[in-house]
Structure 1
Amino acid sequence: MEIRSAHFEDLAQVLNILNTVSQALKEKGINQWNDPWRAEQIVGEIENGQAFVLLNEKNAIGTFFIREVDRISEWVVEPHSMYLNKIAILPDYQGKNIGSQIIEFAVSFSRNLRKEIYLDCWAGNDKLKTFYSTHGFKYVRDVPEDNYYISVFQGK
């Protein structure tokens, strides 16, 4: 398994992963994201080095994004913190410890920058909230986001 920065050539695979995972979440009743994802939502993040891909041999099987933030939704975080978001692993590869590898990578990435790291999820996704907690993230609070709430977590 290789994790690397996404390149512009990865855009179609990143969009496919995000849209496939969005649909799978909806089918489970999890309101994590609106879809479909569009190229213009992702291109800038790839250009700014904020997008990452997980490769199994040469195929992208997952993606995630890390960017600097001063707030998540309406909640203020530590200044210039890192924000791990849009974590998506193709359904066939879920449950194989890949999410743990993403968390480890992101925590290491932010530590190397000497910055706090945060992430969030739909407040109704108890399974994901438990996953984050078992990986050392501390629940901070629920904050409103459009017509639902997100749970914010701070990294170890």
Structure 2
Amino acid sequence: MVNHLKQIVVQKVSHDDHEVIISLLKEIAQWLKDHKINQWSYLLVGGDDEEIIYAIQHDHTYKVLKDDTLIATFTLSPEQSEWDQHIFGKDAFSDSMYLHRLAVVPEYMNQGIGKEILHWIQENMGKEKKYIKLDCVADNVKLNRFYQDNGFEYLGETDNHSKYRKVLVRRA
């Protein structure tokens, strides 16, 4: 599935790309740490490597390209992880997609790429589930504002993580 927006191309990650995606996420995690942003430091020590590989192998991870350059990645899972159950509770209706590791390469930050990715998800995933849910570190003010500015409803906080939900556009 290839989709073109104004600036970007979104594609599912191939099963052999796990090293590239893990490397990209660690590069971004290091940038966040260097800029004193409390987000993803556990990735620097191999935290989530197995979950990242699992998501790629199950076709839940996407890469975002601009002019054939990898500029972002995200995982969108139709099933809850243990973390999702911890944060949101058990999804009894199985009506949600779970967004994880939405990451934009620092050189492309503040150019609307994250917003375009959220728009792509909204336009392309509505036929699968009713909601998109995500969490982020509660004290990351800028990231919390980003999700609120993009129409996500704040659902509260669990374990120092803000919880968000947005209704997906229903597609036939």
TM-score (normalised: structure 1) = 0.87
Per the alignment, residue 103 of structure 1 pairs with 118
Between Structure 1 and Structure 2, the one with more strand by share is 1
Aligned partner of 2:162: which letter? S
Q: Note if contact 2:43-2:49 (Cα within 8 Å) is conserved in structure 1.
A: no
Per the alignment, residue 35 of structure 2 pairs with 28
* 1:46 counterpart = 2:60: no
- 69-78 or 97-106, which deviates more: 69-78
Q: Note if contact 2:75-2:102 (Cα within 8 Å) is conserved in structure 1.
A: yes
User: Helix, strand or coil: the match of 1:35?
Assistant: helix
Q: Note if contact 1:62-1:90 (Cα within 8 Å) is conserved in structure 2.
A: yes
Deviation at 1:72, TM superposition (A): 4.1
Per the alignment, residue 163 of structure 2 pairs with 152
Deviation at 1:101, TM superposition (A): 1.0
Match among 16, 24, 32 for residue 17 of structure 1: 24
Per the alignment, residue 124 of structure 1 pairs with 139
Between the aligned partners of 2:17 and 2:70, the Cα distance in structure 1 is: 8
Per the alignment, residue 134 of structure 1 pairs with 149
**Moved runs in structure 1, 4+ residues, more than 4 A?**
none
Deviation at 1:150, TM superposition (A): 0.5
Question: What is the alpha-carbon root mean square deviation over aligned residues?
Answer: 1.9
- 16-25 or 103-112, which deviates more: 103-112
The number of aligned residues is 152
Deviation at 1:26, TM superposition (A): 1.2
Q: Note if contact 2:71-2:104 (Cα within 8 Å) is conserved in structure 1.
A: yes
Residue identity over aligned pairs, in percent, reads: 27
User: Helix, strand or coil: the match of 2:52?
Assistant: helix
Deviation at 1:57, TM superposition (A): 2.3
Between the aligned partners of 1:140 and 1:101, the Cα distance in structure 2 is: 23
TM-score (normalised: structure 2) = 0.80
Structure 2 gaps, min length 5:
1-7, 168-172
